[in-house]
Amino acid sequence: MFKLHDTYGFPLDLATDVAEERGYEVDKDGFTAAMKEQRAKARNAWTGSGQQSVSPVYRELHNKLGDTEFIGYDNDASEATIQAIISNDQQRDHLEEGETGGILLDKTPFYAESGGQVADTGLFENAHATARVDSTRCQVDKSFVHQVTMISGRLQVGDTVHAQIDADKRRKTENHHTATHLLQAALRHALGEHVQQAGSYVGPDRLRFDFTHFEGIDLERLQDVEREVNAAIRMDLPVQIDHKNLDDARKEGFMALFGEKYEDVVRVVQTPGISKELCGGCHVSRTGVIGLFKILTESAIAAGVRRIEAVCGAPAIEAIQEHERQLSASTQLLSTRPDQLEDRIKMLLADNKRLDREVAKWKQQAATGGGTDLMNQVQDIKGVKALVLHVKEMDAKSLRALLDQSRDKLGSGVVVLGSDCDGKVALAAGVTKDLTNRISAGKIVAQLAPLVGGGGGGRPDMAQAGGKDVEKLPDAMKQAPEIIAALLG
């Protein structure tokens, strides 16, 4: 059951129904334990053995200073005191212009990367120095480490700084995070409650949502999902944030990441009537703030796992305008209108296919002297008619067509063709049905292909191969009659 769900994305509820219909009892406790173990492995793989890789200096500081007070849900800036500085896994008492290091504050508005949401960036400033905050991470529990680059001056332990996040980046990230919740709700509504989050990225530029589902999603259903998310945005619903006892939250229907470990009291994010999730990330106050939601791509990333990438707000408008630009450029190139573009492309594809057939026909005729002397090149090898041809600039598909044509003309015999096209060798061999008990096309190709640095094979009546040594093709084709004779015995 676990393998069906984890490897192939088969919904647990459906698998349970099928098993019970056939008289099997499902070990749900075992399934839950296996899922927890798998998620733990995934987390360790992602973090590179997790906490074990954390430098001892961070553990020592956490034991001494405790958790950092995070005030970023309600504040973009604050006055804070530098409690510690780390550089090259060593504690320092200061950082000067041009240096980099990690700074721990007593409190911070900077969100540390977690739950798929990117870290805040911004500035630390006081009257004497400016530092750029490049990233923020929790190295041990909730001990926030701000990775900084000193722009000017000198910062030292005990200094007070004005900590200011990049507010524009945070607002865009909040848009994408709340939209991710709306997207998951819309997917569960459209596809079924087997949809579960399998990973995410939430940043200022876009959102990426990985989820369990066992097949691709067609355009019509994707558009339904997109419409449902945008409908929730237009309703301008409040995004309610609270803290609840974990058991109470689950009883009330708040979604949690399957197998994830939570504290007894959890933060819950709710859009009434739409979405209820356990989440520690940053969100908009009302859905209307998001403005617009646009799906960019939907794809498979693993067996049973799909991925949607989407954008919100200004990035969504930019994406739509880029699509419009591409559409306008395409219609101008093809001298047509947007509503006629599909028919125009279909017509061009049909014309191209027809021309490809004509080109292939002319190539075959040119390769065989216009088709008039093809049979004049037939040899008699041990009482069997054999046609061996070295043709120029013919791809494998065209070579196969010429093979079929030549074999039909022979009626009874062996055909071996070789060609060089785009710096590669193409080989093809055919044997009429009445001779396959004496000689195999697959064996001809198996001996011929190594002579041109390649390999291949096939059936007794037809075989193809490729090679990389174009310069060796003429000599190889000269040996083809000998190969045929040897195989005929």
Q: Comparing 134 with 3, which gets the higher pLDDT?
A: 134
- Mean pLDDT throughout 227-253? 96
20-24, 116-120, 161-165, 199-203, range with the lowest pLDDT:
20-24
Q: Comparing 46 with 473, which gets the higher pLDDT?
A: 473
CA-closest candidate to residue 409, choices 428, 387, 382: 387
pLDDT for the residue 44: 44
Percent residues over pLDDT 70 in the chain: 89
Most confident of 225-229, 373-377, 453-457: 225-229
22-36, 93-107, 226-240, 291-305, range with the lowest pLDDT:
22-36
**Going from the N-terminus, what domains does the chain have, and what CATH number goes with each?**
2-52 (no CATH), 56-165 (2.40.30.130), 172-324 (3.30.980.10), 374-488 (3.10.310.40)
Phi then psi for residue 431, to 5 deg, are -130, 130
The single residue listed with the structure tokens 């749900």 is 28
Distance CA(109)–CA(114), nearest Å, equals: 15
Question: pLDDT per residue over 423-450, tens digit each?
Answer: 899 999 999 999 999 999 999 999 999 9
- Residue 43: which pLDDT band, with cuts at 50, 70 and 90? very low
Question: pLDDT per residue over 175-203, tens digit each?
Answer: 999 999 999 999 999 999 999 999 999 99
Measured on CA atoms in the order 365, 366, 370, 374, is the torsion positive or negative? Answer: negative
pLDDT for the residue 356: 83
pLDDT for the residue 23: 64
pLDDT over threshold 70, residue 169: yes
pLDDT for the residue 22: 64
∠ CA 242-245-249 to the nearest 5 degrees? 70
Q: For the chain, what is the mean pLDDT?
A: 89
- Residue 406: which pLDDT band, with cuts at 50, 70 and 90? confident
Q: Comparing 5 with 350, which gets the higher pLDDT?
A: 350
Chain centroid, CA 225 distance in Å: 20
pLDDT for the residue 61: 94
pLDDT over threshold 90, residue 15: no
CA-closest candidate to residue 164, choices 123, 126, 117: 123
- Residue 136: which pLDDT band, with cuts at 50, 70 and 90? very high
pLDDT over threshold 50, residue 42: no
Percent residues over pLDDT 90 in the chain: 74
232-241, 256-265, 361-370, 419-428, range with the lowest pLDDT:
361-370
Question: pLDDT per residue over 307-321, tens digit each?
Answer: 999 999 999 999 999
- Residue 157: which pLDDT band, with cuts at 50, 70 and 90? very high
DSSP H helix total and E strand total for the chain:
12, 24
- Residue 329: Cβ-neighbour burial (10 angstroms; 0-12, 13-18, 19+): exposed
pLDDT over threshold 60, residue 7: no
pLDDT for the residue 12: 63
pLDDT over threshold 90, residue 341: yes
CA-closest candidate to residue 174, choices 316, 289, 77, 284: 284
pLDDT for the residue 37: 64
- Mean pLDDT throughout 157-179? 98
- Mean pLDDT throughout 335-349? 93
pLDDT for the residue 54: 77
Task: Mark residue 258 as left, alpha or beta (left: phi above 0; alpha: psi -120 to 50; beta: remaining).
Answer: beta
- Mean pLDDT throughout 387-415? 88
pLDDT over threshold 80, residue 375: no
**DSSP 8-state symbol, 411:** S
Burial pattern 351-360, b for ≥16 Cβ within 10 A else e, equals: eeeeeeeeeb
pLDDT over threshold 70, residue 135: yes
